[in-house]
């Protein structure tokens, strides 16, 4: 499951040919065609077996000294928290041509690479470092896959198809900033992780080991980490494990559970597959809202760019496609000429289209969002209380969640891999109302203040971390109790909206209070109704908590 490409509901790509007498078609006939590469070379798989010439490290031996050191513990022992800021080796559009300080990469919504968001969620005094006097005892990580290729039939490939159709019919001629289109080819695959996407998850695994490695000392058996069956999900999980445990060690260091991601199979990491209303007209509301916004904001860019191309008539779908090509080519190929075409205002408009789509299709504004995320909340409560799950009326999988081998309850570290839309669902189910404080998002203009932005919530490799720690109940108290708080992309989240969790400058809540609040939230979310009932979402859509009232 991915945040949908809103192009699908935009008007069909139109192409108007100008009279050949007024211009000369300079574009190559291959412009817009798809170019691919395959590695390893196909012939190599049929070659004579030569593996005996290349023994593995265990056969070679002579490894040198191998004693290990102690586990790192940066989250608790360092005086400052680490910060994620770079996207090396990608060429950042804001620096590729000596541009202004505005960074387009941070306006790509769910296509942005993840970075530390600081105090954007409102807790200016909070740090991701463990508060003084507290001792970390457990962590829960829910992360998105890394950067990937676009989905089949999405805006980038549709634009390429339009360009190639023009090149192979009456031709076209591009000049100025669009001149590169004359020889441009489409070099993107579909949905698989890009090299940078693999790096993101490897780095996330390394970072998690450096921050929380000390918790491995609390295991009495191998950890169980979870992901789903889609290729990019498995690759993300394996790259994380390689970074966390080490390339030579990871295969024997943990158990990788792979949930089937397909219609008819229950999984809290792919809850849309068991919730029919996640795929009906109500779920498509974000498409329509984003479509209308794109038709509006793209007018300026169409007017500015059209004069540089003859033989192709640009429309809103093309502008969206080129902006997505900027993002996808950058995370796949390292650089994209499309990035140079757009102004800060263009990027603000694009980003808000993504925000609208996420809010109304997968966020607080969709009536089935809380229901889709509530299964993960049930698992979280079970893990926090070490209580086996016995009721499976949501997206829980009775076979896997009901087995203490595949769903252990005694781990100091829990790692789950999922999609951007699911993280959005879970945030709604957890009832983190601060994120929805400025909702519903207006559909006709960008608001001056906006608490809900996709680039902060669900970028590529987004990571939601629940930190469980033992802390004094008051500054002068000696007694300690278990507390929990949540970090989203290194930003501490206020637990506003969670019953029994009073305001706290560090985002902390006593575990007992948090669990009580979550049990109440689970009870109030009507999974059967929200996922299966036949209802109509009112418009304007007033929903801000991801639930449909009867």
Q: Return the active site residues.
A: 145
Q: Is 28 exposed, middle or buried (0-12, 13-18, 19+ CB in 10 A)?
A: middle
Structure tokens, 344: 């800060």
94 alpha-carbon distance from chain centroid? 22
If you write DSSP's letter for every residue of 310-326 in order, what string do you get? ES----HHHHHHHHHHH
Tokens 């998105």 sit on residue? 144
Distance CA 27, CA 181 (A): 7
Residue 78 contacts residue 129 (beta carbons within 8 Å) = yes
Q: Of 339, 306, 299, 303, whose CA–CA distance to 323 is shortest?
A: 339
Residue 162 contacts residue 336 (beta carbons within 8 Å) = no
Distance CA 29, CA 24 (A): 13
**Contacts for 78 with CB less than 8 Å, ≥ 6 apart:** 129
Contacts 24+ apart (CB under 8 A), 439-443: 439/359, 439/364, 439/365, 439/544, 440/359, 440/364, 440/365, 440/540, 440/541, 440/542, 440/543, 440/544, 441/355, 441/356, 441/359, 441/360, 441/365, 443/289, 443/292, 443/293, 443/356, 443/540
Q: Is 355 exposed, middle or buried (0-12, 13-18, 19+ CB in 10 A)?
A: buried
Please state whether beta strands 509-510 and 309-310 pair in parallel, antiparallel, or not at all (unpaired).
Answer: unpaired
Distance CA 161, CA 81 (A): 46
Measuring CA to CA, how many Å separate 392 from each of 267, 379, 487, 527?
A: 11, 11, 28, 11
Distance CA 384, CA 388 (A): 11
Please state whether beta strands 135-144 and 463-472 pair in parallel, antiparallel, or not at all (unpaired).
Answer: antiparallel
Q: Of 279, 283, 213, 280, whose CA–CA distance to 245 is shortest?
A: 213
521-536 burial, b at 16+ Cβ within 10 Å, e below that, comes to: bbeebbbebbbeeeee
Query: Can you tell me whether residue 5 is helix, strand or coil?
Result: coil
């Amino acid at each position: 499951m991915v945040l949908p490409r809103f192009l699908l509901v935009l008007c069909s790509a139109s192409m108007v040919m100008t009279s050949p007498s007024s211009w000369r078609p300079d574009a190559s006939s291959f412009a817009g065609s798809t170019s691919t590469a395959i590695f390893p070379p196909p012939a190599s798989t049929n070659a004579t077996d030569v593996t005996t010439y290349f023994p593995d490290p265990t056969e070679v031996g002579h490894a040198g000294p191998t004693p290990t050191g102690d586990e790192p513990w940066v989250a608790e022992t360092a005086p400052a928290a680490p910060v994620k800021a770079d996207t090396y080796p990608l060429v950042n559009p804001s620096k590729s041509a000596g541009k202004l300080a505005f960074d387009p990469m941070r306006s790509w919504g769910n296509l942005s690479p993840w970075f530390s968001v600081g105090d954007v969620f409102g807790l200016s005094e909070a740090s991701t470092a463990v508060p003084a006097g507290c001792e970390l005892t457990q962590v829960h990580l829910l992360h998105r896959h890394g950067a990937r290729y676009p989905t089949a039939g999405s805006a980038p490939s549709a634009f390429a198809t339009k360009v190639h159709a023009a090149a192979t019919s009456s031709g076209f001629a591009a000049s100025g900033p669009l001149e590169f289109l004359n020889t441009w080819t489409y070099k993107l695959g579909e949905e698989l992780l890009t090299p940078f996407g693999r790096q993101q998850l490897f780095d996330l695994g390394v970072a998690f080991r450096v921050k929380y490695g000390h918790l491995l000392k609390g295991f009495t058996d191998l950890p169980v980490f979870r992901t789903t069956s889609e290729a990019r999900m498995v690759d993300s999980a394996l790259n994380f494990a390689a970074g966390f445990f080490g390339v030579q060690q990871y295969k024997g260091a943990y158990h990788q559970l792979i949930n089937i991601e397909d219609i008819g199979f229950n999984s809290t990491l792919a809850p849309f597959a068991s919730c029919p209303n996640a795929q009906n007209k109500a779920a498509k509301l974000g498409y329509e809202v984003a479509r209308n916004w794109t038709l509006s904001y793209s007018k300026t860019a169409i007017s500015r760019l059209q004069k540089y191309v003859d033989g192709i008539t640009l429309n809103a779908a093309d502008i969206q496609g080129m902006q997505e090509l900027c993002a996808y080519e950058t995370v796949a190929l390292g650089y994209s000429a499309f990035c140079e075409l757009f102004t800060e205002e263009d990027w603000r408009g694009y980003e808000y289209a993504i925000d609208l789509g996420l809010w109304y299709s997968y966020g607080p504004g969709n009536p089935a969002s809380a229901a889709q995320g509530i299964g993960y909340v049930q698992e979280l409560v079970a893990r926090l209380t070490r209580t086996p799950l016995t009721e499976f009326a949501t997206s829980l999988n009775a076979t896997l969640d009901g087995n203490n081998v595949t769903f252990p309850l005694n781990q100091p570290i829990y790692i789950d891999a999922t999609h951007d839309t699911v993280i959005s669902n879970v945030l709604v189910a957890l009832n983190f109302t601060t994120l929805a404080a400025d909702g519903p998002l207006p559909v006709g203009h960008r608001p001056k203040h906006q608490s809900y932005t996709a680039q902060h919530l669900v970028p590529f490799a987004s990571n939601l971390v629940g930190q469980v720690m033992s802390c004094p109940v008051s500054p002068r108290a000696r007694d300690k109790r278990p507390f929990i708080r949540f970090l989203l992309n290194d930003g501490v989240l206020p637990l506003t909206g969670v019953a029994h969790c009073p305001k706290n400058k560090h985002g902390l809540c006593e575990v007992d209070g948090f669990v009580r609040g979550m049990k109440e939230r689970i009870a109030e979310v009507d999974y059967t109704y929200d996922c299966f009932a036949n209802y109509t979402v009112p418009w304007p859509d007033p929903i801000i908590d991801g639930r449909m009232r009867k």
